[in-house]
Chains A and B, each alone.
Chain A
Amino acid sequence: MSEVVKSGPGRRGWLKASLAGLGGLVVAGCDSLSNNRSVQKVLESAEGLTRRSQRILLTPGQLAPEFREADLSPMFKANGTVDPPDAAYRAHVATGFANWRLRVDGLVEHPMSLTLDDLKARTSRTQITRHDCVEGWSCIGKWKGAPLGALIRDAKLKPDAKYIVFHCMDSMGGDDSRYYESIALADVFHPQTLLAYEMNDAPLTVPHGAPVRLRVERYLGYKQAKYIERIEAVASLKDLHGGRGGYWPDRGYEWYGGI
């Protein structure tokens, strides 16, 4: 017996190995649960509860907290795509977005095609707000842009339009999939929802989504689509890309990004 102990890893080693083995089984069990579609569906049911609860708690016009100039982050982190490699986008950067157009189409009575100057000529709103990344960090920035609600009113939604989709110019991770996001009409007509073209009193830079990005305060950073080229009114999100209304929602993140 003692010989076995001497030649083997020892009792303590055996105990350690058993514990590690047991721990490994628990970890493997949790991982297989995480990958089980039925388990995922149950876990995802919490999103509906969160969305409905926050819709009840948040009146349509309730503003996200706004800050003073003194509260601005010394360094505003750029995340996700920071320099789109797409040839069409590179060409826009080279020409200072002179040929860039913002298309507004889909379920609207009056489709539009706007230049950057057209957008800047519209009534603007400026706000200092906190940008909350899904990763956990926050930065405070100053945004100037054209309220989306007024633009969509000009385009006049058809009765069956339920969502506004933002089509972006950046391809994610080399595949053919462009970034996109979508929001419900309640958020489209929120006073703080802007098509922002200025950040911290300067034209929007490439890392932050030049020439135009969305600001939909009260939501996480991945909802704030950058490099926008087209705004589409739709009745359903099912037919777009993965069918879940956004690049990250198609990859498991909540479409309702208020939490």
Chain B
Amino acid sequence: MTATNDANGTLAAMPDAVPDRIYRHSGLTRTTHWVNAISLFVLLLSGLNIFMAEPALFLGQYADFNHPALHIFAAHAGDGRLVGITEIFGQQIDTTGLLGVSNNAMGHPVSRAWPTWLTLPSYRDLSTARRWHFFFAWLLVLNGAAYLAWNTYVRHIQKDLWPTREDLREIPQSIIDHIKLKHPTGAAAIRYNVLQKLAYLAVILVLVPGMVLTGLTMSPGMDAAFPILPWAFGGRQTARTLHFVFAWSLVAFFVIHMVEMVLAGPVNELTSILTGWYRVPKGHDAAAPESASQGKVQ
């Protein structure tokens, strides 16, 4: 949501004034944000449990078991000790303790692709993990569809997320600002910066739709209904690999999202995604990043 006049009664009289608070996130955006967050969390943990049933990734239509792109497994070392090994395109890395071999609830090392705290349920259970996964997959899809439909209709995506030509020119400066951990203040803080816009767009238009489409490609029923799916992703096994890559890309987004939230002021940021109201950070004009100084109150 953009700045609105009801944030500050004097805004209409003084068009250049920066309001103290703006109504940034609509009710639908806030609701869908949290449903999305919970769904992705459950989908990740249940998905990692599902992965344990075949802890390897392949490229192509079928699984070429001798040439996995990734394989997480356990092996016995010379001294009989159980070691966890992660193999990526033939390169083996000892990942004992985290991947391949980790401690069970009793504290004994066991053969598992992921540690217990990364899977839902914590124990290996493909059928239960699939139940969690598909329920929350439906929730993710319906929630995401509501978000995209509404925010396209009210032009939130076009107005507030789609980068302008000017935005794109500011990319180098924005990268420098991010490295220096400089956050915009005043008028510039009302809009999203270009890297933020691109990150959000990547999530809502590429990563989450990519998760859904590669997930659907793993369904033999969907492949019969839409043969274009396995064709487009280069085979069911490639789709499964991409599903995994997109999932960890979303985890990477989540980590950056949390770091930026803390750096930008966690109380203000959390308040805005819970209530919609965002307090515009005050700052001296001199301190405002150059890239954002052109920012216009919308």
Please list the residues of chain A having a beta carbon within 8 angstroms of any beta carbon in chain B.
23, 26-28, 30-31, 34, 40, 42-47, 49-50, 54, 57-58, 62-65, 67, 71, 73-75, 77, 130, 132-140, 217-220, 248, 251-254, 258-259
Q: Determine the distance from Cα of A54 to Cα of B117 in the docked complex, in whole angstroms.
A: 34
The 7 closest A-B pairs by CB, nearest first: A258-B221, A252-B127, A136-B54, A137-B63, A135-B53, A259-B219, A46-B135
Closest to A50 in B: B134
Closest to B58 in A: A137
- On whether the beta carbons of A253 and B225 are closer than 8 Å, the reply is no
Please list the residues of chain B having a beta carbon within 8 angstroms of any beta carbon in chain A.
45, 50-51, 53-54, 56, 58, 61-66, 116-117, 120-123, 125-128, 130-132, 134-135, 137-138, 218-227, 230, 236-237, 240
Which of B122, B126, B135, B219 is close to A43, meaning CB atoms less than 8 Å apart? B135
Q: Determine the distance from Cα of A50 to Cα of B63 in the docked complex, in whole angstroms.
A: 26
Q: Determine the distance from Cα of A25 to Cα of B220 in the docked complex, in whole angstroms.
A: 37
Dominant SS among interface residues on chain B: helix
- On whether the beta carbons of B221 and A218 are closer than 8 Å, the reply is yes
Q: Assuming A34-B128, A65-B223, is B134 touching A47 (CB within 8 A)?
A: yes
Residues of A near B128 (CB, < 8 A) are: 34, 40, 252
Which of A64, A136, A217, A252 is close to B51, meaning CB atoms less than 8 Å apart? A136
Closest to A129 in B: B220
Q: Assuming A30-B121, A73-B62, A136-B53, is B131 touching A54 (CB within 8 A)?
A: no
The residue in B131, B135, B223 that gathers the most chain A C-beta atoms within 10 A of its C-beta is B131
Residues of A near B230 (CB, < 8 A) are: 65
Q: Determine the distance from Cα of A258 to Cα of B134 in the docked complex, in whole angstroms.
A: 12
Q: Determine the distance from Cα of A77 to Cα of B56 in the docked complex, in whole angstroms.
A: 14
- On whether the beta carbons of A139 and B125 are closer than 8 Å, the reply is no
Q: Assuming A248-B127, A259-B219, is B122 touching A27 (CB within 8 A)?
A: yes
Q: Determine the distance from Cα of A45 to Cα of B51 in the docked complex, in whole angstroms.
A: 23
Residues of B near A258 (CB, < 8 A) are: 219-222
Residues of A near B64 (CB, < 8 A) are: 73-74
Q: Assuming A46-B134, A46-B135, is B121 touching A31 (CB within 8 A)?
A: yes
Q: Determine how close the nearest CB of chain B comes to the CB of A151; give it in whole angstroms.
A: 22
Closest to A23 in B: B117
- On whether the beta carbons of B224 and A136 are closer than 8 Å, the reply is no
Q: Determine the distance from Cα of A71 to Cα of B135 in the docked complex, in whole angstroms.
A: 34
Residues of A near B127 (CB, < 8 A) are: 248, 251-253
Residues of A near B123 (CB, < 8 A) are: 31
- On whether the beta carbons of A138 and B120 are closer than 8 Å, the reply is no
- On whether the beta carbons of A65 and B224 are closer than 8 Å, the reply is yes
Known: A137-B62, A139-B63. 12 other contacts (CB 8 A): A23-B117, A28-B122, A46-B137, A47-B134, A54-B219, A65-B230, A130-B61, A138-B63, A138-B237, A253-B126, A254-B134, A258-B220
Closest to B118 in A: A27
Q: Determine the distance from Cα of A218 to Cα of B58 in the docked complex, in whole angstroms.
A: 21
Q: Assuming A54-B225, A75-B65, is B130 touching A132 (CB within 8 A)?
A: no
Which of B63, B131, B221 is close to A44, meaning CB atoms less than 8 Å apart? B131
